[in-house]
Copies of this chain bind each other. A is one copy, B any other.
Amino acid sequence: MRRVTLKDVAEAAGVSATTVSFVVNGRAAHIPESTRQRVEQAVADLGFVPSARGRALASGRSRVVVCVSPAGPAADVIEQFKRDLSHTLMTAGFTCVFLERPSDGDQFVQLWRHIDPACVVSWDALDSTELLPLERAGVPTVTGLITGGTSEDRAVDQEAVGRAQVEHLADLGHQHIAYAMPVMTHEDESTARSRRAGAIQAAHDRGLAEVTVSTVAVDADQARGAVQAWTQATPRVTAVASYGDLQAVTILEASRRLGMAVPRDLAIIGVDDLPLGKLVFPTLSTVALDLHAAAALVAARILAVVEPTSDAVPAVGQRPPRVVARESTLGTGT
């Protein structure tokens, strides 16, 4: 069974294809109501669905935004971010899809042969091998939203995250703070550095002892070593700001296995506000990012590129991260 086309509808409604096109696209300005209804009836009767291909080719523009997913660990907040972004873009008449970045760069380049985006969005920076074919295909890009790029490019102020952690700990009277860096993948390298820089700066601003920076894998043994090193340092580290909640929980469990009391012997604060943080004992203090705001900001940036005319979504600024204080810094409250 052949696909139902504009022409079929035109024939059925007794008008020209042009007229049908106008009606279907809402440009029915100077089409009288009666004709319009005839056309719509025919559309409904035949079950006409316009072809995205034909439309894209003729109009010369696509309405698909491709987002290259970050390869970091899964997180509900990221999923929420994606949903927010999708929703905002959809409201503006675009469809947002997510692409898993293949490990093989060559294949990555091949992708644009199949899909036909209005814009390609990437969390981190794309390298020039990846950028060139896009540019040649006339596809604009929005990159460096989370990692890479300049700090103004980023939708989240990562320095502020580190600052918030250290300020929270300083408020509780901690003088000697450690910063736990993750084992860095390409993806979170720049993020980790920014957070650390914020932490160090906050410690400096507050007149605290110099921040001890350690790398802590999400691994029980390594975490134990780090905890031991901190407790044996002089002056003794009394609190640790961790790159993420996963590292923080690892440290928390290592401390407990070493017989230490959290937060009395060591206070711990993570980042991400994973649900996990509420499950462990003691519950984990953390920093929550406002990814709703970040999504709005990213959406605005994208729309500015794909639809420069409309002023669409009002730009939202970066929203500061929020400290979620729980037992691992405040104590059990008993």
Q: Which residues of A are at the interface with B, using a C-beta cutoff of 8 A?
A: 3-4, 47-57, 62-64, 66, 69, 73-76, 78-79, 82-83, 86-87, 90, 94-100, 102, 107, 110-116, 132-133, 136-138, 218, 220, 246, 249-250, 253, 256-257, 275-276, 278-281
Contacts and interface: CB of A to CB of B under 8 A. Distances in A.
A115 B64 contact: yes
Given A53-B57, A97-B98, 20 more contacts: A47-B132, A49-B133, A51-B57, A51-B137, A52-B115, A53-B53, A53-B56, A53-B62, A64-B114, A66-B97, A73-B79, A87-B100, A95-B99, A96-B99, A97-B97, A116-B116, A218-B279, A220-B278, A253-B281, A280-B280
Contacts of A113: 49-50, 52, 55, 63
B51 A116 contact: yes
B257 A276 contact: no
Given A62-B53, A115-B64, A82 B100 contact: yes
A107 to B, nearest CB: 5
A113 B111 CA distance: 20
Contact of A114 (B48, B52, B102, B257): B52
A131 to B, nearest CB: 12
Contacts of A256: 281
B279 A249 contact: yes
B98 A100 contact: yes
A155 to B, nearest CB: 17
Contacts of A133: 49
Nearest to A117: B52
Contacts of A82: 100
A100 B99 CA distance: 11
Contacts of A107: 90
20 contacts: A47-B136, A49-B112, A49-B113, A49-B137, A52-B116, A74-B75, A74-B76, A74-B78, A83-B100, A86-B100, A87-B100, A90-B102, A95-B111, A96-B99, A97-B98, A246-B275, A246-B276, A249-B279, A249-B280, A253-B279
A162 to B, nearest CB: 23
A112 B90 CA distance: 12
Contact of A115 (B95, B220, B246): B95
A227 to B, nearest CB: 14
A52 B112 contact: yes
